Amino acid sequence: MKKYEIKLKYCPNCGESLLKSKSLLNEYWIADDTAYFCWCSECSWRGEIVEVKRVTAPELV
Amino acid sequence: MLSKEQNETLTQVGPGKPMGELLRRYWYPIAASSEVERIGTIKKVKILGEELVLYRDKSNNLGLVADKCAHRGVSLEYGIPDKCGLRCQYHGWLYNGEGQCIEQPNEPENSTFKARIKISGYKVEELGGLVFAYMGPAPAPELPRWDLFVQKNVIRTIGYAIIPCNWMQIMENSLDPTHLEWLHGHYFQHIFEQQGRPQDEWKITKHHLKIGFDEFEWGIIKRRVLEGQTEENEDWAIGHPIVFPNMLRVGDSGAHSFQIRVPMDDTHTFHFWYTCFVPKEGVVVPEDYPISLYQCPIKDEDGKFVTDYIDGQDMMAWITQGPIADRTTERLGTSDKGIIMYRQLLKKELKNIENGEDPKCIIRDPKKNEYIELPQEEDKFSEGGLLSGVAKDWNTRYAPNLEEIIELCKGGKVSSSV
Ligand code: FES
Ligand SMILES: [Fe+2]
Ligand SMILES: [Zn+2]
> Nearest-CA distance from A24 to chain B in Å?
6
pLDDT for the residue A5? 77
Q: How far apart are CA B346 and CA B244, in angstroms?
A: 9
Range of the domain at B89: 34-134
Contacts of A25 in chain B (CB under 8 A): 2-3, 6
Write out residues 301-340 of B within 8 Å (CB-CB) of A: 328-329, 331-334, 336-337, 340
Contacts of B8 in chain A (CB under 8 A): 21
Which pTM value belongs to this model?
0.95
pLDDT for the residue B93? 98
What digits encode the pLDDT tens for the residues A10-39? Answer: 999 999 999 999 999 999 999 889 999 999
- How many structural domains is chain B composed of? 2
Q: Are residues B120 and B185 in the same domain?
A: no
Question: Of A1, A4, A22, which has the smallest distance from its Cβ to B350's Cβ?
Answer: A22
pLDDT for the residue B390? 65
Nearest CA in chain B to A23: B347
Taking the CA atoms of B22, B25, B26 and B32 in sequence, report the sign of the dihedral they define. positive
Question: Of B9, B332, B348, which has the smallest distance from its Cβ to A21's Cβ?
Answer: B9
Which residues is B258 bridged to in the sheet?
B249, B274
In a domain, B281, yes or no: yes
Distance from the Cα of residue B241 to its chain's centroid: 14
pLDDT for the residue B327? 97
pLDDT for the residue A58? 73
Q: Are residues B85 and B177 in the same domain?
A: no
pLDDT by residue for chain B (418 residues), tens digit each?
A: 999 999 999 999 999 999 999 999 999 999 999 999 999 999 999 999 999 999 999 999 999 999 999 999 999 999 999 999 999 999 999 999 999 999 999 999 999 999 999 999 999 999 999 999 999 999 999 999 999 999 999 999 999 999 999 999 999 999 999 999 999 999 999 998 898 888 766 778 899 999 999 999 999 999 999 999 999 999 999 999 999 999 999 988 789 999 999 999 999 999 999 999 999 999 999 999 999 999 999 999 999 999 999 999 999 999 999 999 999 999 999 999 999 999 999 999 999 999 999 999 999 999 999 999 999 888 776 665 655 666 778 999 999 999 999 999 989 887 765 5
Q: Are residues B193 and B83 in the same domain?
A: no
What digits encode the pLDDT tens for the residues A32-61? Answer: 899 999 999 999 999 999 998 888 777 765
Among A22, A30, A32, A44, the strongest candidate for a mutation testing the B interface, having the largest count of B CBs within 10 A, is: A22
CATH code, A10: 2.20.25
Q: Are residues B306 and B351 in the same domain?
A: yes
Q: How far apart are CA A28 and CA B161, in angstroms?
A: 32
Range of the domain at A47: 1-51
Neighbours of ion ligand 2 (CB under 5 A): B 314
B252-290 in b/e form (b: 16+ CB < 10 A) is bbbbbbbbbbbbbbbbbbbbbbbbbbbbeeeeebeeebe
Select from B134, B169, B185 the last residue of a domain: B134
Q: Are residues B292 and B364 in the same domain?
A: yes
In a domain, A56, yes or no: no
Select from B69, B101, B134 the last residue of a domain: B134
Comparing C-alpha atoms, which of B259, B278, B280, B279 is closest to residue B270?
A: B259
Q: How far apart are CA B121 and CA B127, in angstroms?
A: 20
Sheet of A46-50: strands edge to edge? A24-30, A33-39, A46-50
pLDDT for the residue B385? 62
> Using an 8 Å Cβ cutoff, are B66 and B122 in contact?
no
Ligand 2 center to B235 CA (angstroms): 16
Among B329, B344, B352, B355, the strongest candidate for a mutation testing the A interface, having the largest count of A CBs within 10 A, is: B344
Taking the CA atoms of A9, A10, A12 and A18 in sequence, report the sign of the dihedral they define. positive
Distance from the Cα of residue B264 to its chain's centroid: 11
pLDDT for the residue B388? 62
Counting every residue written for chain B, the total comes to 418
The ipTM value here is: 0.92
Is A25's CB within 8 Å of B9's CB? Answer: no
> Nearest-CA distance from A20 to chain B in Å?
8
Ligand 3 center to A39 CA (angstroms): 8
